[in-house]
Each structure stands twice: as structure tokens, then as C-alpha cells.
Amino acid sequence: MEKIGADKAAALLDSAEEILLIGHTDPDGDCLGSLYAMKAGLVSKGKKASVYLRKPLPLKYRFLGDELEKNAEIPECDLVVALDTPQLKRLDIGDPARLKSPILAIDHHPGEHSEFSYALWDDGKSACALLVKEVFQKMAVAITPKMAGALYAGIMTDTNCFVNQNTERDAFVAAGELMDLGARPNEIAKYVYGSLTPGDILALSKALSSLELYDRDRIAILSLKKEWQDEHNDADTELFVNYARNLINTEVAIMLTETKESVRVNLRSKNGFDVSAVAKRLGGGGHKPAAGIRMKCSLEEAKKILLENIKFDD
């Protein structure tokens, strides 16, 4: 792996003609916003760019438009760009061996990134979208209002509306610049946080009723069994974990969502506890205050394993 800066990343993208963009499994707002903006920016420079996306966009990100329709094709390409992930196994592609071209990672997560050909990697950034914006500046990409909105959505969601402890001044500066370029924060927030369905509300009520507290209330766990979810569509549980995190004594919040294949684990923390270290030990990843895992076990077993791996200094 060659660790590179935004200049070299821009040069790699400039020299490629056909580029495949891939995000991580269960893509969030930062990943999807970065995918949309990167595709639009590359197309504006005359590149043939495509996005690999195994599932349709969640309802709250449909404002990104048809450019991110479900697409599981792997076309011929000169370069693969892996966005918002430090590991090949986290790519939303199943078997990374299917990728035959050099891979450029653009990412802000901790990790070695050693499996990639090149890595534009800065774990001091609070969102991948900030790195995409830097690359665009080096490539002289004209950021349209829709691209600005996508990048703003990435920053907004990965900083939890600019309140996460890793949110630095550059996130606020970039957000202001993107507003000047046409991003509309009120419209984006309306879509991202105002697109709940009745099924989502029912799932939230079930998750809240499952609340369990451990270790003097410092660990709060919410869970959602698969039979509780909307029978026609999986509920959007991405933000449920914040209800547990906001409890006055909570230091580690856990949201367990049972699916047909596994248990999706969302981890959040405050007061400096490093949930990314827990996630990494169990095959996941993320940041110190926010991380995730896919666990191939029952919901109760996942809960037991997590509690065994969360230890406080006192």
C-alpha cells in the first residue's frame, strides 16, 4: 500500500478513464454522499464512472437521485475507488477478489489500509466527504448544488449534526463553503431525519421497550428482533442507538438489530470510551465514539459477547 495525499489521488483519478466506485457494507450518509458526489465529479471531467450498490437507497437518502440506483455489475475499469472503509472485507461487494484493477482507498477511519494499492487516509477527518472535497479541489472539479448537498449530508450525518467529539473546525468551514455552493441544510435534514415510516416508529417503540442497563447504567442496550420489524421492509434503525447514548449515565450505547443472516451492531460512546477497539476485536470497525459490527450469531449471544468485551478502567 502507498499512502498518498490529495494531489496524488487527484492524479490517479485524472489518469484513469473508467472508474468503479464502491462503499462499505450498510452504507451510511457519509458513504452514500461521497459516492454520489464522486461519481458526479468524475463524470463532469469526462470520465466513465459507475457505482456498485447491492441494495436500493434507504428512503432518507433518495434525494441523492437515480445516479445511485441499485447496481451489482462490475464493469471493466482502470481503477477502483473504495470510499469510507479501511478494509477490503468491509466493501459492499461480498468477495473482494472479484476486483482486478488497482484500488484507491479514500477514507477517514483508523486502520492500516494495507490491502489497498493506494490510500488517501486521514483519521483526523470527521467525514470521508471532507477528503472527497479536497480531491475535487485538486482536480478543479466544479461542485454543483446537488454535489454540495451530497457532501454536506456526508459531513452532517458522520458528525451527528456536528456534535461528535471528533468534529473539528474544518467540518464547519467545509459545511459553510458547501452552503455557498448550493447545499440546503434544512432540506437535507428534512430528508435524512424526517423520512420515518410507520414501520420505523413501530420498530423504535419495540427497541425502546427492550432497554437494558448494565454496569451501574454505564452500558445501555437496545435490541430489535427480526420478527418485530416491518414485514415488508426492514426498519431504518441507524439512529436508534442515539436514544440509548443520550441517557444521563450511559457511556457505551449498543443497538442490536437482528436480520436473517446476522446481528447488526451499532456502538456509540461518550466520555472518551473507545468503541472502535471493541468493534475491531470482534471483526468490525469505526471510530472511537462510533463503530459497527456484523456478528454471525444469535441476538442473545451477541449481547453476551459484547458485554464481555466492554470493560471500564474502574
CATH number of the domain encompassing residue 141: 3.90.1640.10
Q: How many domains does the chain have?
A: 2
- Please check whether residues 7 and 150 belong to one and the same domain: yes
Q: What is the pLDDT of residue 120?
A: 96
pTM: 0.89
Q: Is residue 314 part of a domain?
A: no
User: Of 192, 222, 241, which one is at a domain's C-terminal end?
Assistant: 192
Q: What is the pLDDT of residue 229?
A: 62
- Please check whether residues 96 and 177 belong to one and the same domain: yes
Q: Is residue 23 part of a domain?
A: yes
- The residue segments making up the domain with residue 274 are 198-309
Q: How many CB atoms lie within 10 A of CB 106?
A: 28
Q: What mean pLDDT is predicted for residues 46-51?
A: 94
- Please check whether residues 285 and 233 belong to one and the same domain: yes
- pLDDT (tens digit per residue) in 67-89: 677 777 788 899 999 999 988 88
Q: What is the pLDDT of residue 313?
A: 83
**Beta-sheet strands, E only, within the chain:** 2-4, 18-22, 48-52, 79-83, 103-107, 118-121, 212-214, 219-224, 252-258, 263-269, 285-286, 290-295
Q: What is the pLDDT of residue 230?
A: 54
Confidence of residue 232 (pLDDT cuts 50, 70, 90): very low
- Please check whether residues 186 and 211 belong to one and the same domain: no
- Please check whether residues 246 and 278 belong to one and the same domain: yes
Q: Is residue 14 part of a domain?
A: yes
- Please check whether residues 35 and 107 belong to one and the same domain: yes
